[in-house]
Each structure stands twice: as C-alpha cells, then as structure tokens.
Chain A
Amino acid sequence: MSLSDIWDVLVLGVVLGSLYAVIAIGYTLVYGVLQLLNFAHSEVFMAGGFGGVIALTIFEPTADPSGIQSVVYILLGITAGAALGGFVAFGLEKAAYLPLRRRNAPRLVFLITAIGASFFLYNLAGKLFGRYPIPMPSMYENRRLFTVFGAPVSVTQFLIVVVGVLMLVTVDFVVNRTKLGSGIRAVAQDPEVASLMGVNIDRVVSRTFVLGGLMGGAAGFLFGTNLQVDYTMGFLPGITAFSAAVLGGIGNVRGAMLGGLTLGIVESFTVEIWGDAWRYVGGFAALVLVLMLRPTGILGERVGRAA
C-alpha cells in the first residue's frame, strides 16, 4: 500500500464515516432520552433512501441534469429523505414505544419491540417496493471534482461529506443552544425532575425521535446516491452506526460523530487490506476492542448529558 493509496482509502473512510456519524446521532439521542437501543433506526435510514427515490421518481430528472437543476434535485432528494425518515421515526415512537412508556415497561420489552418494529418496517418496504435494489435516478454527472494529495474526490463523495458536516453542526447547535436541546438534555438527565420543571416529556421524546429521524433519513438518501436503495440497506449500516455511537460514548453527540468517523476509516482500511467481504468485521472488531479497553467509549458516556 503506497502513500497515495492511503489517501485514497482515507477519502473513502471519511465519506463513509460522515454517513455513519449522521446515523449514529439518531441512536445516541434516543439512547440519551430513553435508554433505549432503537434498533428500528436502521429502518428509518432505509425509509430515507426510499423517500429520496420516490420524490426523484415523481419529479423525474431530465436525461442529464446539470448546474442549478442538479442542486434542486439534490435538495429535493435530501428533503424528501429527511421528511420520510422523520415521519417514520415519529410514527414508530407513537405506535410502538409510547404505549410501553405509558406502562413503564421493562427495558427488555422495549428492545424486543424495537426488533419487531425493525423487522416489520423493512419487510414492509420489501413488500411495497419489491425486494430488488432500486437505482437512484441520476441527478448529476458523478465526475471527479478535485484531488486530495492525489486521491480523487467525486461529486457524490463531496456531497456526502458537505451535507454530513452541515447536519452534524446543525444537530450540535440544536442540542446545545436551543430550547428543544435543553429539553432533551433535561429529560436525559432526569425525566422525573424535568417533568416537574415543566418539560413536556412526551413532546421532547417525540421530537427527539423526529430529529434523529430527519438525520437518519437524509443519510439514507445520501447512502442511496452513493450505491442504490434496497429494502435491506438499513441493517448493516445501522449496526455499524450503532457501534459508532457506542464507540464514541453512547448518549454523547460529539462522541457519535467521532465514533462514526473512526469506524468509517477503520472499515475502509479493512476493505483495502482484507477485501470487501470482510467489510463489517473490522468495525465490529474495533467495537469489541474499544469496549474491552474503555467500556464507556472514546469520549466517555454522557447519558444524562446528551450534549
């Protein structure tokens, strides 16, 4: 592996990592407020991909869109993906988790519900849209944009990183600087006291899901632009993004970002060295290793301080 190869792999890793970081936010926020591993978040991600495809199929791009047209299509896809992701997350919380929260059900019950919901959702997508990969309509010419130390960066890759970073900055702002964010942090710290202080817990939890869903949905669309959309596409990125959240310290928003980036880079080096078949083994091994050495993740758990 020469030096320029390393830059190639690094670029791939950063691209993948920013996707993982965006998905991991959804896991970490929900874990922060509910102490729930929301397995169904990978299906929110998948829904985002389908949302993008549906919107782009409705507003069929012309044969070779370019310039301002491409930008419009990209924005349309991201919006549709985020919207469907947010909608699915909202419905999921209302239909599956709210009845359990009302009853104060044990956490095992929550976990099983999450698994069931995940299975239901992705098979529903398989049923509605067919169990085949669906290519994303072309929105722009995916040419090489510029090079980083000799490593080419394509338009898609650039797009993913830029949108990812924008979303991460936004979510960081929302959690740390807005009223909703202080609500999220309050509920994460102590739901009972938060409700005594006038925080509407149901509303905060619901909006946390929606926030995570918006992120996950947009990431699903971006992932779809890179590859294709498929009803099982959520599963492996979901596990990896969850690992990223744990790796960085679950409940910690900046930890999720760092963890996502780390895992993306680890994964692309795994692919480079051992081949594509072992892609997810590297990330998982990294997770187990980090958990053994540092059980609370790289930046430390901050359950109770979701920021």
Chain B
Amino acid sequence: MTTDTSVRAPLSAAARLRHRKWYQQPRWKRLFAMVALAVVLTQAIGVQGVRGDIFFALQENFTGVRLWVCLAIAVTIWAVREFGADVMARYSAALRVETDRPVERPADVPPAEGLSPRTAHVWLPATVARSVKLATARFRQNATYRWTALGALLAFLVLLPLMVSTLWQQVLVDQIGMYVLVAIGLNVVIGWAGMLDLGFIAFFAIGAYSAAFWTGGLPVEPPVELNNFLVIPVAVVTCLIAGVLLGAPTLRLRGDYLAIVTLGFHEIVYLVARNWSDFTGGTRGAPNLDRFSIDLGFWSYQWRLDPAPYYWLQLVFIVVIVVLFLRLEHSRVGRAWTAIREDEVAAAATGVNTVRFKLLAFAIGASTSGVAGVVYAGKQGFINPEQFMVMMSVLALSYVVFGGMGSLAGVILGTAILVWLPEFLRDIVAPEDRFLYLGGLLVVMMIYRPQGLLPSRRRQRELRMAEEGSGGADALGAQPGGVRG
C-alpha cells in the first residue's frame, strides 16, 4: 500500500535543499506553538489575580500543577499529530467508508482497508454519524416528518418551564429567551446581509428606554401613556429610525467601518443613558416600570413576578418573528441579501440597490433588537444603563457566530447552549471569566469551524467558495484596488 503517510504536504525540492536548523523545521516549530498555546491556556484557566500583588496569579500559574497538565496534553496532541498521522489517516478513512456505506452492505463492497469496520471504535461513531445523516435527509425530504418533528419541538418548548425549577425558569426568560430574540435579529445583519454590527445591544437599550418612556417610567412625562404591547410598534419605529440614521452615512462607505461606527454608537447610547439624568434617570435608571398587561375590557391579564407567563409571551414573540424571518429569507429581499453577500459588485451590476438593501437589513435587525428591549423592560420592571454594556453586543455576536451565521435553527440553538452553559457551570467557572472563554471560543471557531454549529448550507458553501477565491461571503464592500482573489 503506497499511501502518503504525512497529513501535510511534503516539502518542495527547493525547501529541502535549503539548510535548516533543527528548530526551524516545521515539526519543531509546531511543537513550540503547542507549548505556547499550553502556557496561554494555563493562564486562562488559572487563578484569579488579586489586588496589590500583580505577580500573584503569574506565580501561581507557573508553579502549579495546571501548567504541567496543559503541557502534557499539548505535547501529546503534537506527538499524535506528528507521529500518529498514519494511524489517524487510516482510522478516518475507515470511518468515512463505514459512514458512507449503504445501510445493508452489499457483498461486493469490501470493508475499509487496514482497520476492521467491526471494531467498536470504528463501528460506533460511524453508526451515529450515519443515523444523523439519515435523519437529516429524511427531515429535509419528507414534509410529514418535518411537521411532526416541529410540532413535537414546539410542544416541548411550551411545556419546558413546567419541567424546571423557578431558578431555571428565570434563566430561561431573563437570559435565554432574551438573547435568542436578540440573536435572531443580529442574524439578519451578520448572517444574511453579511455586515458586522457591534452595537446591536444599543438598539436593545433604545427599545427598553422607549418602553420606559412611553409607560411613564422615566423622569420625563410622555405625551400619552401606553400599554407595553402598544409600545412595541413605537419602539420598532424608533429603532428603525435610529438604525437608518446610523446606517445611512456609514453603509455607503467601506463596510468594515460599520463595525467601529456601531461600536462607538453603542458606547454613546450607553453614555447618554448614564449621563443624561434629566431624561433617562442616569445611573439609577428607571426603577418602577409597568409590567406587561392586557386589558380588553371583557378580559384582562396582568403579568406578575412568576417567570413562566413571560416565557410563553417570549415564545410567542420568537415564533412570530421566526416565521416572519423565514418568509423574508426566501423573499426578494432575502435573495438580494444573498446576492450582495456572495458578490457585491456582481449584485450591483445586476441591479440590486446594495446600499438600500444593506440599510434595510440593518434597520430590520435594529427593530428586532428594539422589540427584545421592550420585552426585557416589561419583564424586569426596572432598567439601568449597566444592563446595556458594550460587552453584551459582543456576547450576542459570539452567540450568532457559534450557532452558525445565517441559519435560524443554528442561531437559536447556539444561543441557548452558550447562555445555558455558564449558568450550568456557575459553581465551577467564575461568572466574570465567561467573556474570556467566549472570546477564545470566537477565535477557535473562526479558525476551525467558521460556519458554526448548525450551519446553513448556503452560507457554508459561500465561506468555502470565498476561501477558494470567488465571492466575498460578506457585505464588507469590494476590496479597494479592484478585484478580489
């Protein structure tokens, strides 16, 4: 058998001729990289620094057992990759053959070379992968199957708060539901239109503050006091206008300016909320807001402290918005976004008004965030500027990216997992370290799996094509100086 035993491409003749010191060889360079990564990892999972002694954490981390564990893991991974390439290649080939084979193996299909498909470590993962593939295919093809699965999922989601403790109900409403709503909106901007918005929570704050204003919770009296439900359209319009005002001057420019402008916008919204005490209540915020209530004359309902009813309300909002957005994705607008993402110049040449559609995506995203803000204010009953920090925008971004930009199911699942996980690990991981791990996760995701957890197939293809040099997979504008690739 003459297979290439190395995973990486062999050195060219010229490179082989060049004299290299041992430490300049790729193999040893990779070892150094792994060791460096291990050291960084040790610092990341190490102890928390203390006030007054800046060397405390460094000292602890470099003398503790963590460093050795991390180093051992890193060196093992390196050794397996360098010297076990042959075994791994054979294993993955066997796995692939086993996964791809038909359910009933015909007599003439031989088992994979080298490894027996009957061994458990090939057969088990291959069977799991095959079942997943089969289920996905069935889900895609068969409408009855799809609707049943969807119905079951919905029933599960409706009954979910009855199955968990009040503490988790709170998490479900305050964190998961809220961020899912935000992430669905952000998905429009980043996943569908391919623009990077780092000030998304600013619109959330605008929504929350408009809820506070129109229900009479701010120091300034509104012209008319509205019910929380009636505030929603008002907040949508407010955020739409804010989005257009911010987007109109910047979307015409090179797309990557948008990131910094939105970041600055968020900071300004935060500063205004904190410093303009006469209007926003300053750092105290708005302490006593109306909660949601319905009064139809013949029937009325008041949401109170129990989180479960808020959950169902949120679920209704999420389902409505998801249905609307699914329609939008496959409409003319959605197709225009796809065209802009895949190749902005070509889209403009075929008559898509790129600036208008980008602005539309930006405004739709902003108004969704605004709705989430109103829901948040109506649930919490109080708001203050510290609830709308810039970090939250980055959190929302990492949720969308983790789940899979452009795929609604992925975004929802990714958000739910990433919000749930830190709550679940609360006793093990300090809450303020969350951002550390999420930042690291973003980097690792972008290097190894930029398409996310449950990618949309189209987006995945675009990313791959962009890497091969056709199309952009984002709406950051044509590269200066001509054609990309």
Contact = CB atoms under 8 A, between A and B. Distances in A.
Give the secondary structure class of A's interface: helix
Contact of B264 (A108, A110, A128, A239): A239
B37, B55, B249, B447: which has the most chain A beta carbons within 10 Å? B447
A113 B447 contact: yes
A113 B398 CA distance: 10
Given A111-B256, A120-B440, A288-B261, A128 B250 contact: no
B44 A109 contact: no
Interface in B2-52: 33, 36-37, 40, 43-44, 46, 48-51
Contact of B446 (A50, A100, A291): A100
A95 to B, nearest CB: 7
A287 B439 contact: no
B435 interface: yes
Given A111-B259, A243-B260, A57 B439 contact: no
Contacts of B481: 189-190, 303-304
B44 A127 contact: yes
Interface string A220-262: 0000000000000001100100110010000000000000000
B384 to A, nearest CB: 16
Given A105-B450, A303-B481, A287 B442 contact: no
A295 B252 CA distance: 9
Contact of A291 (B249, B267, B438): B249
Given A54-B54, A107-B256, A96 B268 contact: no
Interface in A81-101: 91, 94-96, 99-100
A119 B54 contact: no
Interface string B459-485: 000010011110011101001110000
B394 interface: yes
Interface string B243-281: 000000110110011011101110110010011000000
B472 A107 contact: yes
B334 interface: no
Interface in A44-82: 50, 53-54, 57
Contacts of B61: 128
Interface string B71-104: 0000000000000000000000000000000000
A209 B331 CA distance: 44
Contact of A292 (B196, B249, B260, B401): B249
A130 interface: yes
A109 B341 CA distance: 13
B397 interface: yes
A123 B275 CA distance: 26
B443 A116 contact: yes
A118 B450 CA distance: 18
Interface string A264-276: 0000000000000
Contact of A120 (B55, B436, B447): B436
A264 to B, nearest CB: 16
A278 interface: yes
B37 A95 contact: yes
A111, A131, A291: which has the most chain B beta carbons within 10 Å? A111
A285 to B, nearest CB: 8
B267 A108 contact: no
Contacts of A292: 249
B441 A116 contact: yes
Nearest to A283: B264
B194 interface: yes
Contacts of B226: none
Given A106-B466, A113-B446, A116-B439, A280 B480 contact: no
A37 B49 contact: no
A118 B48 CA distance: 19
B257 A291 contact: yes
B43 to A, nearest CB: 6
Contacts of B194: 108
A132 interface: yes
A112 B442 contact: yes
B436 A287 contact: no
A55 to B, nearest CB: 11
B450 A107 contact: no
Contacts of B440: 116, 120
Interface string B332-345: 00000000000000
A278 B271 contact: yes
Contact of B36 (A91, A121, A126, A239): A91
B57 interface: yes
B57 A129 contact: yes
A307 to B, nearest CB: 16
Contact of B467 (A57, A106, A115, A242): A106
A172 to B, nearest CB: 22
Contacts of A7: none
B351 to A, nearest CB: 24
B267 A284 contact: yes
A134 interface: yes
Contact of A284 (B264, B450, B467): B264
Given A106-B473, A280-B271, A288-B250, A129 B435 contact: no
Interface string A164-200: 0000000000000000000000000110000000000
B261 A132 contact: no
Given A35-B479, A130-B49, A116 B442 contact: yes
A37 B432 CA distance: 26
Contacts of B33: 94-95
A5 to B, nearest CB: 23
A154 B398 CA distance: 44
A229 to B, nearest CB: 9
A143 interface: no
B261 A128 contact: no
B433 interface: yes
A281 B268 contact: yes
Contacts of A91: 36
B183 interface: no
Task: List the 10 closest A-B pairs by CB distance, nearest first.
Answer: A116-B442, A119-B439, A120-B439, A108-B474, A123-B436, A130-B49, A106-B473, A277-B275, A106-B466, A284-B264
Given A108-B473, A281-B268, 4 more contacts: A111-B256, A112-B196, A126-B432, A246-B260
17 contacts: A37-B260, A54-B55, A104-B467, A105-B450, A112-B446, A113-B442, A116-B440, A119-B439, A120-B443, A123-B433, A128-B58, A131-B432, A236-B267, A280-B271, A284-B267, A291-B250, A295-B252
